Amino acid sequence: MPINILMPALSPTMTEGTLAKWHITEGDTVAAGDVLAEIETDKATMEVEAVDEGTLGRILVPEGTEGVPVNQAIAILLEEGEDAAALEAAPATAAAAPELASETTAAVAPSAVATAAPATAPVPSGNRLFASPLARRMAKQAGLDLVALRGSGPHGRIVKTDVEAALTGGAPAAAPAPAPSAAPVMPVGGGPSAKQLADLLGMAYRQEALSNVRKTIARRLTEAKQTVPHFYLTVDCQVDDLLKARKEINGRFDGVKVSVNDFVVKAVALGLMQVPAANASWDSSGTLYYEHADVSVAVATPMGLITPVVKSAEEKGLAAISAEMKDLAGRAREGKLAPEEYQGGTFTVSNLGMFGVKDFAAIINPPQGCILAVGAGEQRPVVKDGALAVATVMSCTLSVDHRVVDGAVGAEFLAAFKTLIECPAAMLL
């Protein structure tokens, strides 16, 4: 009996994914452990390996297809001795995604075949226009009139590729932009989108499709800002002793190159152990207080921001944290992190100091209760023992979920962090 290859759940929160690339083609022989495809989740692109042997009989989901639900069949594997005729006996598959269903020819009853219209033109039913949901959405966003398009899908149905071809070829738009000499007419109700406004004003731009990572960032941070009651606490840390210790460590020990951020991660972890009330998350069933400091560190990648986690950072030395962060950050930029390596942090560090940013306030990464925004260390005038002096000062701003952490607790954590970061030797206690 043919075997369905299903869209895997690559993380606990994954409900759908993008089939980015097939590594095999129909007719290829497959062995257990062979890489079948690359699946793009909301955080990374991961390889999917075969668990059965056989021959790839049919690919059901073409590469590049977005929004494929978990557990939907994406291909059919023929077992040894089976041929293409066995595909008709393949087990029933989960419901296909809307666009996939519109672009694959379904089995049709014999009586319907005899009356089917040619696939070269849409087949209306009264005033009804046959188009896939994705094609309708794309056309609406682009301002295209679907009546002007000819469908290439089953029975003349308008599909995604038809809309893309029309956009490339300059198909008639439902609401064309006015002549340059005329005043632009703005859409009514909620204001125009960025694309609508650019089109109306004739602005030149380049548009890139949204990756799953970018969509997830937009969704989660919008939810965070709308649903999490943020407040902010800022402290200035004098880091001359830290810079001196870093220089001595990097110069004395071969193969060890610790960064300022490694000190920050360690100080955060130890600060959370000293003030465990800040190592917490909101949950409607009750506040969660974590036993270990699993510190998420924001890393910029070509796909967007991702936060690999240094687990139990309070138990690790600076050299271990440095080596782990180099490995995690490198694989994050390549999209090679496993879900457990970027999920489950209890506190986040976001450091923009290397870009010369003096200070900023970061958005909390739910369900965590806090995020620390670290600015650049810069020389500033300070008062020491009643006299004016110059010190290297680094501003750090703690964003706090007020449902979980009160102002006094946030201030207590920042005081512990400041002591540790200003006196690196205190991290050895």
What is the token pair recorded at 233? Answer: 């606490």
Whether 178 and 153 have beta carbons less than 8 Å apart is answered as: no
Structure tokens belonging to residue 247: 């220089």
In whole angstroms, give the CA distance from residue 128 to residue 132: 12
Where are the strands (E) in 249-369, listed by range? Answer: 280-281, 288-289, 295-297, 299-301, 304-306, 309-310, 347-351
Q: Are strands 347-351 and 295-297 parallel, antiparallel or unpaired?
A: parallel
Is-catalytic flag, 23? no
Catalytic residue among 23, 155, 230, 402: 402
How far is it, in rounded angstroms, from Cα 342 to Cα 309?
Answer: 5
Rounded Cα gap, residues 399 and 154, in angstroms: 53
- Alpha carbon distances (Å) from 217 to 27, 224, 364: 39, 10, 12
Say how far apart CA 133 and CA 146 lie, in whole Å.
Answer: 12
d(Cα 294, Cα 114) in Å, to the nearest integer?
64
Tokens representing 145 are 């009139």
Strand 370-384 relative to strand 347-351, pairing: parallel
Q: How far is CA 144 from CA 128, 130, 135, 174, 184, in A?
A: 17, 15, 10, 5, 18
Which residue, chain included where needed, has tokens 């009586």?
A: 111
**Rounded (to 5) percent helix, strand, coil in the chain:** 35, 25, 40
Q: Which positions are annotated as active-site residues?
A: 402
